[in-house]
Amino acid sequence: MFLPRNYGTWLLLFLLISPTLFSPSMSHLDSRWAAKKRHMREKVREMFYHAYENYMTHAFPHDELKPLTKSFTDSLSELGNLKLEHLPQDYNGSALTLIESLSSLVIMGNNTEFERAVIWLSENLTFNIDARINLFECNIRVLGGLISAHILATDSTNRLVHGSYKNQLLNLAEDLGRRFLPAFDTPTGLPYAWINLKYGVMENETTETSTSGCGSLILEMGALSRLTGDPRYESAALRALRKLWSMRSSLNLLGTTLDVITGEWIEYSSGIGAGVDSFYEYLCKAYILFGKEDYWRMFHSAYLAVQKYFRHGSWYHEADMRTGKATYWQLTSLQAFWPGLQVLVGDIGAANSSHREFVYVWEKFGVLPERYLLDHQMLHPTEKYYPLRPELAESTFYLYQATKDPWYIQVGESIVNSLNSYTKVEGGFASVRDVTTMQLEDHQHSFFLAETCKYLYLLFDDSFLVDRNYIFTTEGHPLPILSSWHERLPETYIPTNWTYAKSEQPTRPASAMSLQVCPATALRSGYAVQQIESACHVPDSRGDHRCFSDEECGVDSTNCRRRSCSMAGYCGLWI
C-alpha cells in the first residue's frame, strides 16, 4: 500500500490532538500492566522463598545449597574441599546464603525473618577460623551483606520488631574488616587475592590477582570506615585503587590479571567482563556514595576508553590494553551488568542497544550462556553453563526505572518463566551445566537470592526505593546515599554524568533513575541554564573533525548518538 510522504507527520499530529480517543484504552492498558506487575512480583516472591526455605532446611548454616541432592557446600573458602567430618572443630558454618539474603528479606517486607536471622548471626557467627578465603568474594558477599543489613536494621522504617539490635552486625563486619588488612601489606599496596581468616597471608601464597579483585573493595571498606570511624579500611582500599589506576596504559586501559608484589601485568587483554567488570562499576558508584572527585575523573577516563576501544556497534569485545587492538570477540554473561551501569551515567541509548543483544542471546538459548563467541555466532565449546547469574535482570531493572518502557517488564517476565521452567527443582533452583541440553548442576549460588531474585522483585515492585536513594553493590546489597558520607555539599547531581552544579539552596542528591533525564540537557528548574557534557562523549579522532571513515568519529556529547563520516569527510550527526 502506498503511503504519502507526510503520513507519519499527520499520524503524529492526529495522536497529539486526539488524546480523548485513546485515553480510555490507555487507562485500561495501564491497569493491565499494574496487574501483571503484581502477578509477577508474587511469582518472584515464591521463587525467593522456594530457594531460601530449601537452603534453611538442607544447607544452613553452611555456605550454599546443593538443590539436587539437598545437601550443602562451603564454597566461599577452601573448606568447600573438605568433607563434613574433616571440618575444623571450631567451624560452625558461615551461613553465607543467609547473610546474602538479609536485604532481600527486608525488601520483600519480611522483617520477622530478618530479625530472626540477625539474632542467629549475632549469637553464632565467628570469623576466627582456620580458613583460606578469597578476599574479593568475601568482601562483596559477607562484608557487604553485613554492612547493608546493619544499616537496614538501624533504619527507623525497618527497625527490628523487638528492638533487640545493638550493632551486632557492625561488630562482626569490623572484625572481618580487620582480618582483611594483612592482605594489603605488600610493596605495592595491592592486596593478595587469598588470605587465611585466622593466620593472615600464608607462606607461598599466590601473588596473582585480578583487576576486579583489588579494584572493587572501596564501597564495602569505605562504608565500614564511615560507620566505625576507623579510616584504615577505606585507606587500604583507596591506596590499592589508586595504584591500580596508575598502572593503566597510555590508552587508559587496564589488563585483567597482575602481580601484587611486582605491580606488573600478567594478562594484558581485557574487556568489561570477568576479571575487570566491577572495577568500572565501583569507580562510578564510589563517586555517587562518597562524592570524591577522584573517583569520577578515573571513571570518566576509563569509560571513554571502553567506548573507544572495546565497543563495536551494540557489542563489546576484548582488546589489548597496550594497543587497543581487538583480541577476543566474545560475549560473557558477566558483561550484562554494563547496560545498568550506563543507566547511572545517563547513556540510555547505548544501554538499551547492548541490553537488547543480551536479551536476544537469552531468548536464543532460554538462559544466558557463560560465553558466546561473537565472531562465530556460536557457544564457547566448554563454557556453556548458566549459574543463575543476575546481571541481565539487574540491567533490565535499571532500564525500566529510567524509561518506564513496559517492554522491560516483558523481558523480566521471560527471565522469570525461564528460571521456573529450566532451573526450579524440588530442592531449590539449580544451575544449568549445558544450555544446549538444559542439564542441571547441583549448585544454588548465594547470589541467586542476593541479586537475581532481588532485581526481579524490584523490577515489578520498587516500593522499597520510594523516597529513598540507594546504590547497590556488585553483589546487590543496598547502601544509602548519605550527605554525611560526602566530602562536599551542598551540590546537586546532574543525572547524566554525576558531576555537579553549584546551588545557593541545599538540594537533595538525585540519581539518573529518580529524575529519568537523559542524556545531558540544559538545566532549568531554578538554576542558571548550563550545558553539561554527558559521560558518553567520545571525541572525534581529529580536532578539525575531518575523517575518512566512521571509525574516526566519536559519540556526540549532548545526545549520546554515534557520529558518522559524511561524503565530504567530516564527522557529524548525519544519520
Amino acid 491: pLDDT: 40
Structure-derived torsion over alpha carbons of residues 462, 467, 469, 472, reported in degrees to the nearest 10: -20
The reported pLDDT for the residue numbered 156 is 78
CB 554 within 8 A of CB 561: no
What is d(CA 472, CA 455) in angstroms, rounded to the nearest whole number?
Answer: 10
* Catalytic residue status for 391: yes
The domain limits of the chain are: 36-485
- Is 267 annotated as catalytic? no
Cβ atoms of residues 76 and 94 within 8 Å: yes
Query: Catalytic residue at 441?
Result: no
Nearest to 471 by CA among 482, 460, 481: 481
pLDDT at residue 514 in the model = 41
Tell me what pLDDT residue 426 has: 98
Q: Which residues are annotated as a binding site for Ca(2+)?
A: 474
Strand locations in 111-158 (E): 132-134
Q: So what's the pLDDT on residue 45?
A: 98
What is the reported pLDDT for 411? Answer: 98
Q: Is the peptide bond before 61 cis (omega within 30 degrees of 0)?
A: yes
370 is catalytic: yes
pLDDT at residue 62 in the model: 94
- Active-site residue, from 370, 441, 451, 475: 370
Burial of 392 (0-12, 13-18, 19+ CB in 10 A): buried
Considering the candidates 63, 391, 394, 475, report the single residue annotated as catalytic.
391
pLDDT digits (tens, 9 = 90+) for 467-480: 899 999 999 999 99
CATH number of 36-485: 1.50.10.10
Annotated binding site: 474
Of 63, 74, 220, 277, the active-site residue reads 277
Run means of pLDDT, 10 residues per run, the chain, 575 residues:
40 37 54 94 98 98 97 70 43 84 97 94 94 96 98 80 82 98 98 97 97 97 97 97 98 98 97 97 97 95 96 94 96 96 94 95 96 90 95 98 96 98 98 97 98 98 93 98 75 39 39 41 38 64 80 76 76 74
Between CA 445 and CA 430 the distance in angstroms is: 8
d(CA 325, CA 184): 33
Cell numbers describing residue 387: 549459574
Give the pLDDT of residue 165: 87
Per-residue confidence (pLDDT) for residue 145, from 0 to 100: 98
Residues 6+ apart with CB under 8 A from 104: 48, 449, 450, 453, 454, 457
Q: What are phi and psi of 257, to 5 degrees?
A: -130, 155
Tell me whether residue 67 is exposed, middle or buried, using C-beta atoms within 10 angstroms of its C-beta: 0 to 12, 13 to 18, 19 or more: buried
**DSSP 3-state of 48:** helix
Task: Check 137, 259, 294, 434 and give the catalytic one.
Answer: 137
